[in-house]
Amino acid sequence: MSALLEVDQLAVQLPIGQRLRPVLHDVSFTLARGEVLAVVGESGSGKSMTARAIVRLLPPGAASSGRVTFDGTDVGSATRAQLRELRARRVGMIFQDPRAAINPIHRIGDFLTEALVRDRRMRKAEAHERAVAVLGEVGIDDPGRRLRQHPHELSGGMLQRVMIASVLLAEPDLILADEPTTALDVTTQAEVVAVLGDLRRERAMAMVFITHDLELAAAISDRVAVMYAGYLVETLPAAQALERPIHPYTEALLRSRPELSRRMAAIPQIPGRPLAAHEATGGCPFQPRCSYAIERCAAERPEPVRLGGESVMCHRAQERRAAGSAPVGEGTLVR
């Protein structure tokens, strides 16, 4: 069966200062129906831009190349009406801050049922019933009462569940979740992640889940895509992400996760600072910070290499795989 989503050599440039500068470079990946891909990487690495490019919600003045195919349709040449339909029905979006996405003066019930009544010509009573059911599904007690409330009467975690419920009502084939739990406290984060996990199992919806947190990424997904400076540097099966990543950047991310650092004498920060996509020069974008870099890495940008279930953009990928890459254990990086 063909993939639900195919992203092929996607590149995006944005007007920054007086010039168009690259923010995404040749990003390629596919997503099968029902599959969950987590996208991780530091701030500014291009995670949100990748999600926005999928539904062509790029900032004004953006230029792009490459191809995004959703369920056989080339999104790049879709008409406005097709894009509207795509965003309303086929691809649901959940963002970091639900308060920014929900009109504060409308009741939760209106927010949830509006599209069903307007676009799907559903009777109000039926739409209401559907909303009650779906709120129950995302773990909201007393949904009837919640539907009569306004957004300010709900906590951030509750509101994010409402957001998820609104996406579910549209029954999309793909959910783009851009750091949906970042604005929430740790306990609520875990609850919202559990809700998404349940839905994934029960409804088999495909999802692109964006997060800074490699551990969360591995827990929620089938595959993890790691971005750095606008490049997709490694795509690997989730189970492998916390065990044996091949790309040195993924390995560095793994070593610097707070969970591990807390138990170590020194916090192993990745040396140097993240590079903006437009700062990347001829070589590997991670080379200036990479402790495995060799001469070739500064001179020549690596092409992604396919290794089994992985795709790795590193000159030393084969070698690192053969060596089993460095095991990441307690104390390995204390210096």
Ligand X SMILES: Nc1ncnc2c1ncn2[C@@H]1O[C@H](COP(=O)(O)OP(=O)(O)OP(=O)(O)O)[C@@H](O)[C@H]1O
Which residues contact Mg ion by CB under 5 A?
Answer: 48
Determine, following the binding rule CB under 6 A, whether residue 176 of this chain makes contact with ligand X. no
Q: What is the DSSP letter of 327?
A: -
CB of 57 to ligand X, least distance (A): 11
Q: Which is nearer to ligand X, 45 or 325 (CB)?
A: 45
Q: Parallel, antiparallel, or unpaired: how do β-strands 63-70 and 36-40 relate?
A: unpaired
- For the chain, where are the alpha helices, taking DSSP H only? 47-54, 80-85, 98-101, 108-119, 124-137, 143-148, 156-169, 186-203, 214-220, 238-241, 248-255, 258-261, 295-299, 317-322
224 binds, among Mg ion, ligand X, none (CB under 5 to 8 A by kind): none
Q: Parallel, antiparallel, or unpaired: how do β-strands 206-211 and 174-178 relate?
A: parallel
14, 51, 283 from 248: Cα distances, Å: 28, 24, 15
Q: Which is nearer to ligand X, 23 or 333 (CB)?
A: 23
Determine, following the binding rule CB under 6 A, whether residue 232 of this chain makes contact with ligand X. no
Whether 45 and 228 have beta carbons less than 8 Å apart is answered as yes
Integer distance in angstroms from the first to the last C-alpha of the chain? 50
**What order of strands is seen across the sheet that includes strand 63-70?**
19-31, 5-16, 63-70, 73-74
> Residues with Cβ < 8 Å from 95, sequence gap 6 or more?
101, 163, 178, 179, 180
Determine, following the binding rule CB under 6 A, whether residue 180 of this chain makes contact with ligand X. no
Q: Which is nearer to Mg ion, 48 or 221 (CB)?
A: 48
Determine, following the binding rule CB under 6 A, whether residue 48 of this chain makes contact with ligand X. yes
CB of 277 to ligand X, least distance (A): 6
> Rounded to an integer, what distance in angstroms lies between the CA atom of residue 75 and that of residue 62?
15
Determine, following the binding rule CB under 6 A, whether residue 54 of this chain makes contact with ligand X. no
**Which stretch in 41-49, 128-136, 265-273, 322-330 sits in contact with ligand X by CB under 6 A?**
41-49
Q: Which is nearer to Mg ion, 285 or 302 (CB)?
A: 285
Taking the CA atoms of residue 73, residue 78, residue 84 and residue 87 in that order, the dihedral angle to the nearest 10 degrees is 40
Determine, following the binding rule CB under 6 A, whether residue 181 of this chain makes contact with ligand X. no
Determine, following the binding rule CB under 6 A, whether residue 206 of this chain makes contact with ligand X. no
Determine, following the binding rule CB under 6 A, whether residue 3 of this chain makes contact with ligand X. no
59 binds, among ligand X, Mg ion, none (CB under 5 to 8 A by kind): ligand X
Determine, following the binding rule CB under 6 A, whether residue 22 of this chain makes contact with ligand X. no
Q: Which is nearer to Mg ion, 40 or 116 (CB)?
A: 40
CB of 227 to Mg ion, least distance (A): 10
With CB under 6 A as the rule, give the number of residues binding ligand X: 14
The residue at minimum Cβ distance from Mg ion is 48
> Rounded to an integer, what distance in angstroms lies between the CA atom of residue 238 and that of residue 215?
9
Determine, following the binding rule CB under 6 A, whether residue 44 of this chain makes contact with ligand X. yes
Tell me, residue by residue from 257 to 286, as one string, x for binding to ligand X by CB under 6 A and - for no binding. -------------------xx---------
Chain positions contacting ligand X, by CB under 6 A: 14, 16, 23, 41, 43-49, 59, 276-277
